[in-house]
Structure 1
Amino acid sequence: MAARFEVYEGGDGWRWRLIAGNGENVASGQAYASKDGAKKGVDAVKRAAAEAEVTEA
């Protein structure tokens, strides 16, 4: 199964989470006032990750 983003409504607003292929939650976002805001947050993460470098700490 491929990884997927889920957008859901929590107690404090709309949120997103990234679910790995094995079903584990590997990332999540802040609360947004709207579902559309959470979807825009997902889009921003997807764009940033596509250009991100891997570095050593």
Structure 2
Amino acid sequence: MSKFEVYADEVGGYHFRLRARNGQIIAVSRSYKSKEGCLKGIQSVKSSATGARIVILEERLETD
């Protein structure tokens, strides 16, 4: 079963990562100031992503 892991960073912020069933990390959050904010971020992802569409942003090649 996939899982969200919440962890503290070295400067006192909180992050979450989403692990797939096989243990691979498939998403990492930004830094949150509080653990409660981090947990709200997880809830937001869980509720917002169920019907999320995929948008492919085309890369622009720069030439000299």
TM range (shorter): 0.7 to 0.9
Q: AA paired with 2:31?
A: A
- Cα distance, 1:54 vs structure 2: 3.8
> Structure 2-normalised TM-score?
0.77
Structure having greater relative contact order (Cα 8 Å, sep ≥ 6): 1
Q: Which residue of 2 aligns with 1:4?
A: 3
Q: AA paired with 2:42?
A: V
Q: AA paired with 1:50?
A: T
Q: Which residue of 2 aligns with 1:33?
A: 33
**Which structure has more helix as a fraction of its residues?**
1
> Structure 1-normalised TM-score?
0.86
- Give the unaligned 5+ runs of structure 1: none
- Cα distance, 1:6 vs structure 2: 0.7
Larger radius of gyration: 2
| Count, aligned residues | 55
Q: Percent identity?
A: 38
When the two chains are superposed, the root-mean-square deviation of aligned CA atoms in Å is 1.2
- Give the unaligned 5+ runs of structure 2: 57-64
